[in-house]
Amino acid sequence: MKRRGVYISIAIAAAAIALLVVHVSKKQWYKDVDVDTVDKVIPVTIAAVVSHEFADEISAVGTLKAREMSPLSPKVAGTVSRVLVDIGGRVNAGDVIIKLDRTNYDLGVKQARAALAAAQAAVPQAEAQFEHARKEHRRAIELLQEKVIPQSRFDASEAAFKSAREAASFARAQRDQARAALETAMEHLKDADIRSPIGGTVVERNVEIGQAVAPGSRLLRIVDQTSLNLDVDLPEADIGRLAIGTVALITTDAFPEHEYSGKVTVVNPMVDRKTRTFRMRIEVPNPSGKLVDGMYARVKLSEEKKSSLAVPRDALQRLPGSGTYYVFVVEENKAHKRTVKIGAMDDQYAEVMDGLVESNKVVTSGAGRLQSGMEVSVQDIPNKNEKDNSGGQILK
């Protein structure tokens, strides 16, 4: 009897569970039917394809570099007698800014002048002797032809002529060499006064009075920051969008409230094979002198504004894992999926380069539930008469 009661209890429990499953399934079936019925018409909002003005902008970063930078080095060795500038000092091109002791160079000039005077005095004497030997040699030729003098006398005359000619040539060479030595001595004397090759600001000093310096040692560094260069690397896709003269706007962390204007002066036509980038140079005028070499800078390059067909960015959908965009176009209360080619973007709009025409209306909300061909119900949009900044009206 006990075993029979257990079987009956199990049977009753199984029946109850079966009834519960049937009830839940039936309820879910009705729910699915209701959802499918409702989902046949999807509520959406739409907007028209409009003409919108885009400013095609490229952003980049780089480091400012002085237009000219000159490490100042002496051309001659010597002892520093005066330093006329310090770090931060302004200099002009050609200014004497360091003086070396001139004593040895003054002496060298005097010695070179004396040597030149002696060499110049020897030239007329040697030339006179050569002229005399030449006449004697010519006469000896005539006398030999007439057989008046023996061959030995003619040979002596010819040897004297050649010797006098070489002596005159040597004297002239010595004069020219002495003249060159004087010019060198005078140049060394001049180089004892070290001049700035450029106008600019002293940013480095490595010299003191009394210091012995050698040619090539860097004593000062001068930079010209009246304008600066900004070299930036851009993706290869941008190489066709830039041209010489393109306007650039530059900001720095040091002066974030101020925007400096520059222009593109160089576009390198070669793309780096490893980074797939190309280099561009921007010239930035610096009349205030606030910008300095080495500053980190941000740059925005703007091409001319252009009007193009555009859709709100909310209308754009993107295929996962790709760069392909699409939108849903509403025609006769049905949504149709359409692939579009997108160009420039701003905060609100995306440029449509292909796939749409101005009369199209695109879904801006509710697209996540859509499939191509579904019926839609266009909902009212608050402020539906409000126009965008391009003059295009958002349509119901």
Structure tokens at 199: 């106008």
CA–CA gap between residue 345 and residue 340 (Å, rounded): 14
pLDDT value of residue 392: 38
Task: Give yes or no: residues 319 and 240 share one domain.
Answer: no
Residue 186 lies in a domain: yes
Q: What is the pLDDT of residues 365-382, one digit of tens each?
A: 888 888 888 998 888 654
Q: Which helix (H) or strand (E) segment is 113 a member of?
A: helix 103-145
Q: b/e string for 325-348 if b means 16 or more Cβ within 10 A?
A: bbbbbbeeeebbbeebebebebee
Reported in sequence order, the residue ranges of 217-366 that DSSP labels E, i.e. its strands, are: 220-235, 247-252, 260-267, 277-285, 296-302, 306-312, 317-318, 325-331, 334-345, 349-354, 361-365
Task: Give yes or no: residues 108 and 171 share one domain.
Answer: yes
Range of the structural domain that residue 163 is part of: 102-191
pLDDT value of residue 36: 45
pLDDT value of residue 112: 95
Residue 198 lies in a domain: no
Residue 75 lies in a domain: no
State which of 191, 213, 244 marks the end of a domain. Answer: 191
Residue 170 lies in a domain: yes
Residue 25 lies in a domain: no
Task: Give yes or no: residues 235 and 283 share one domain.
Answer: yes
pLDDT value of residue 366: 84
Task: Give yes or no: residues 290 and 333 share one domain.
Answer: no
The residue type of 61 is V
Task: Give yes or no: residues 292 and 323 share one domain.
Answer: no
Task: Give yes or no: residues 339 and 298 share one domain.
Answer: no
Of 158-167, 176-185, 383-392, which gets the smallest average pLDDT?
383-392
State which of 271, 302, 333 marks the end of a domain. Answer: 302
State which of 191, 211, 239 marks the end of a domain. Answer: 191
Q: For the domain that residue 331 is a member of, what is the CATH number?
A: 2.40.420.20
Average pLDDT of the segment spanning 77-106: 95
Average pLDDT of the segment spanning 151-178: 92
pLDDT value of residue 7: 54
Q: Which helix (H) or strand (E) segment is 127 a member of?
A: helix 103-145
Task: Give yes or no: residues 319 and 291 share one domain.
Answer: no
3-state secondary structure of 289: coil
Q: What is the pLDDT of residues 214-255, one digit of tens each?
A: 999 999 999 999 999 999 998 887 887 788 888 899 999 999
pTM: 0.56
Between 267 and 29, residue with greater pLDDT: 267
pLDDT value of residue 383: 41
Q: Is a pLDDT exceeding 80 seen at residue 384?
A: no
Structure tokens at 238: 């941008």
Residue 115 lies in a domain: yes
CA–CA gap between residue 308 and residue 344 (Å, rounded): 9
Q: Which strands form 212-213's sheet, in the order they lie side by side?
A: 193-195, 96-100, 78-83, 212-213
CA–CA gap between residue 105 and residue 109 (Å, rounded): 6
3-state secondary structure of 351: strand
Task: Give yes or no: residues 254 and 173 share one domain.
Answer: no
pLDDT value of residue 65: 94
Map tokens 């380069």 to a residue.
Answer: 353
Q: Is a pLDDT exceeding 70 seen at residue 348?
A: yes
Question: What value does the mean pLDDT of the chain take?
Answer: 85
User: Among 350, 357, 230, which residue's Cα sits nearest to residue 299?
Assistant: 230
Q: Is a pLDDT exceeding 70 seen at residue 86?
A: yes
Task: Give yes or no: residues 269 and 315 share one domain.
Answer: no
Between 7 and 30, residue with greater pLDDT: 7
For the chain, the domain total comes to 3
Residue 106 lies in a domain: yes
Residue 87 lies in a domain: no
Q: For the domain that residue 273 is a member of, what is the CATH number?
A: 2.40.30.170
